[in-house]
Structure 1
Amino acid sequence: MTTSALSPSAPSHLPVARQPIWTTDGRLHGHEYLYRSSLGRPAQVDRWSADRQDGATTAVLSALFHDGEPPGDTLAFVNVTRSFLVSDLPLPRVPERLVVEVVETVAADQDVLAGLQRLRSGGYRIALDDFVATPDQVAMLPYADYVKVDCRDLEADDGRLASTARGEGAMLVAERVSSSARKQRCTELGFDLLQGDSLGRAVTLLL
C-alpha cells in the first residue's frame, strides 16, 4: 500500500464529506472530499484566511491518505491551496488516485504555473474549481485535466463559458446539479461529468 508524503504524526479518523461525481451515462467517476468541522458540519472554508485554508486541506489529505489510500478505487478530488502547488506543503505520493482541485482564489503567478506543470509531469491530475473564466483561471487551463463549472453560472450564459472551459481539451464537470432540468442543460452543453445534490448529496464520513 502506498504511503503518503504527510507527516507520520498527522491525525487520522477526521470527519470529511464525500460527494460522488458521475458520467452523464451514470457511471461513477470519482468523489470530491470536503472539509468538515469536528462536529461533521460544513465550515465555509472559502471565507477563511490562507493559512487556515492550508490547514483544512491538510486535514482532508491526512484523513484520506494517512493510512494508505481512500476507500474504493475511484479518483479522489480534493481542494488545494497555493501552498500545495508551489511545494510549500506536501501532497501525498499517490498521483494515480488524487485529483488536485485548484481553488478559485489561487492566482496564476509564475510559481503556480511552474508547480502545475511539475505536478502534471509527476502524474497528478489537475482540476480547476468554480471556473468562471477569470484571467488567472484561463492562464491555468493548459494544465487542467478537469474544469468544474457551477451549473448556476450557465443559466444566463449562451454557452461561451462551457466553450472556454473546454478550450484546452479538459473534461467538463458540472457542479451543484440540483434538478433534472439542470442535468439536462449541462448534458446538452456537452459536459462530461456531473456532481450535485440531485445525483448524490455530500455524506460525512469518519475515515
Structure 2
Amino acid sequence: MDVFVARQPIFNKQQRVFGYELLYRLAGQDRYDFHDGDRATSELIANSFILIGLEALTGGKRAFINFTRNLLLTDTAFILPKDLVAIEILETIEVDGHVVDACRKLKQEGYLIVLDDFMFKPRFEPLVQLADIIKVDFKKTAIEQRIEFVRKARNDKASFLAEKVETREEFEEALSMGYSFFQGYFFSKPVVVQGRDLSGYKLNYFHILQEVNRPDADFEQIERIIKRDVALSYKLLKYINSAAYGFRTKISSIKHALVMLGMQEVKKWVSLIILRGMGADKPDEIMISSVVRARFGELTAPFVGMSDRSADLFLMGIFSMIDALLDYPLSSIIDELPISDDIKGALLGQDSCYLDVFQLLISYEKGDWNSFSRFAAKLGLEEAKVPELFISSVEWANRFLDLERGVL
C-alpha cells in the first residue's frame, strides 16, 4: 500500500458508531501534508476503497474523508458510494462560487456534507446552508463558543458533531448542549465509582477469565472450566465450527476442540467470548477496538522478532480496554489476572519487552504518525508492512463480531 490509513469512531447519542473518520498519510511522509492533500486523498481512494474495499475499513459504516478544493472541483467524490461516505470540507479551503456549486451538486445527489473544525466566518455561510453535519473542535473552543455555534447556525437541518471529546464529562456536556454526534476517545474511559463492586454476571465472567488464563492450567482443567458454563461451551463450538476454520468434520466437544486447535487457541477464543459478555452493556466499539488491537499485535509479532510470543501480544490487546468494560481501575484488574508481568507492564505503561509494541499499535490506531514511525524504527519494523496488517486486523475483528451476533 502507498497510504497509511487508520480510523477514529464517530458516535451518535446512543454511543453507537455512526461512522469513522479516516486518518491517513502517504508512505514516506511523517504527517498529513495539506499541500499534497490531493494526492493523499486520491491514494486513499485508490488503495483503500478500490483495492481493499470500503467494507473492510468501516464495517459498512460511513467513512468521513477530507476533500481538498481540487478534488471537489474535479468531481472525485462521485466515484464513491454516497451511502457509505461523508465529504469533509476542511476549514483551510478557499470558499468561492465554484466550491459552493460543487458542494451543492454533491448535496443534490445525496452525499453527506460535513464542515470540519468549524468557526463562524462570513465566507462559510453558503456552506453552512448546505451542511448536514458541522464539526466543532472541543479542544480549540471555549464552552460559550460551543453553545453559541449551535444557537447561531441558521440551518435547522444540520446536526452538530463534538470533536476531540476525551472524557465522559465532555460527552455529557456536549449532549446537553444539543450536539448529536461525538468523536474522541471518551468511550474508552472507565466510569469508576469508588467502593462499587463488580455486578454478579461480570464477576462470574472475570473468575472464568482468571481460571482459563492460569499458566499451569492443563487440558482437563480448561475443559472443565468451559463445560461449567453452558452458554460459553455453545458459543465456543459455534465459532470453531464456523467457516473461519473450515474443518471437514464437525467439532462436537470441548475436548475435541482442544485437541484440534491446541490450548492457546482455545484460550484465545474463550477470552474473546468472555470479554464480549462482560461488555454487553457497553458500546460495541470498545470490544471492536480491543479485538483489532489483539489481532494487530498477533500479526505484528513475526516482524518484530516475537513469533514465539504472538499469544502474549494477542492477550495484551484483548485486555487493553478491560477497565472500560468493567468500569474499574486498570491497575486493580490487571493485578488480579494470571497473565505475564510483561503484558501487565505494557498495559500500565511500565518498562516491559512489549511496551514498544503496544505503543506502536496505539500510535497507529490514533493516526499519530510521528510516534508510529519512531516505534517502528525502534523495533526494526518495516513501516510498509503495517497498513496491510492493520486492515487484516480490522477485517478479522469484523468477522468475529458478525459471527458473535449470529450465535446470540
**TM superposition score category, shorter chain reference:** 0.7 to 0.9
Q: Which runs of 5+ in 2 are unaligned?
A: 189-361, 368-386, 392-408
1:184 aligns with 2:169: no
**In 2, Cα distance between the equivalents of 1:148 and 1:181?**
19
Aligned partners of 2:60 and 2:153: how far apart in 1? 27
Higher helix share: 2
Q: 2:184 aligned to 168, 171, 196, which one?
A: 196
TM-score of the two chains, using structure 1 as the length reference: 0.81
* Higher RCO (CA 8 Å, separation ≥ 6 residues): 1
1:188/1:27 CA distance change after superposition, 3 Å: same
Question: Which of 57, 63, 71 is the matching residue for 2:41?
Answer: 57
Q: Considering only aligned residues, what root-mean-square deviation do their CA atoms show, in Å?
A: 2.4
> What TM-score, normalized to structure 2?
0.43
1:37 is displaced (CA, Å) by 4.4
Aligned counterpart in structure 2 of residue 114 of structure 1, from 75, 84, 101: 101
Change (3 A) 1:123 1:158: closer
SS of the residue aligned with 1:96? coil
- Alignment map for 1:64-79 (pairs within 5 Å): 64-67=48-51, 68-71=53-56, 72-79=59-66
Contact in 1 for aligned 2:24/2:32 (Cα 8 Å): no
What residue identity is the alignment partner of 1:16?
V
Aligned to 1:144, what secondary structure does the other structure show? coil
Task: Name the CA distance, whole Å, in 2 between partners of 1:101 and 1:158.
Answer: 20
- Is the Cα contact below 8 Å between 2:115 and 2:135 reproduced in 1? yes
Partner of 1:15: 4
The verdict on how the C-alpha distance between 1:81 and 1:64 changes in structure 2, with shifts beyond 3 A counting, is same
Moved more, 88-97 or 120-129: 88-97
Count of residue pairs the alignment pairs up: 191
Give me the identity figure in percent: 28
Where do residues 37-186 of structure 1 align in structure 2 (5 Å cutoff)? 37-38=26-27, 43-45=31-33, 48-49=34-35, 52-67=36-51, 68-71=53-56, 72-87=59-74, 89=76, 91-152=78-139, 153-157=141-145, 159-165=147-153, 167-186=155-174
8 Å Cα contact 2:129-2:154 kept in structure 1: no
Between Structure 1 and Structure 2, the one with more strand by share is: 1
Query: After the TM superposition, which segments of 4 or more aligned residues of structure 1 sit over 4 Å from their partners?
Result: 88-91
